[in-house]
Amino acid sequence: MRAAQQKEHEAHKRQNAEMAQRRAVEAQWAADPSTAIRAALELVAMQWCPAEHALLYGGEGLGLGRLRVALRKLFERHQVEFAIDIAQGALHHVRLDYEDALGPAGLSALASVARRERSTIFPRTGSHRRPCTPDVLRS
């Protein structure tokens, strides 16, 4: 009986430690959406099937769900131009990290998913760019 209680106690401790670790990761992602975007894109990249030259299930899955959440949070926090730059920077980091594993076709598929999701979440991303020069400086 005592051994069973101890085993249950150890399992409960492990579960609490895993939950604390998960909360810490989620807090980090909330504080830095770029990190969340990179983590989500890495999950999507893991779906690359070189033999088929395609993402498994077209990229649908946990990574895509996390990408959508991260992009929404990013666009809620930042002006459009900054959010786009941050998202593109995150994609760039993942492309560098996975260049050898995915190859050109895989990188293209990953970038395509990222662009599609960005335009779905914020459809006007190409049309509302502000000029670099403030109106005050224009003649």
pLDDT in tens, 34-80: 899 999 999 999 999 999 999 999 999 999 999 999 999 888 888 88
Q: How big is the chain by its Cα radius of gyration, in Å?
A: 20
User: Which position has the higher pLDDT, 9 or 88?
Assistant: 88
**Statement: residue 130 has pLDDT above 60:** no
Position 85 pLDDT exceeds 70: yes
Q: How far is CA 108 from CA 48, 94, 99, 125, in A?
A: 11, 12, 10, 19
What pLDDT is stored for residue 135 in this prediction? 43
In terms of DSSP H, where are the helices of 32-79? 33-45, 62-77
Calculate the CA dihedral of residues 81, 84, 85, 88 and round it to 10 degrees.
-160
pTM equals 0.70
Sketch the domain layout of the chain as residue ranges.
1-29, 32-125
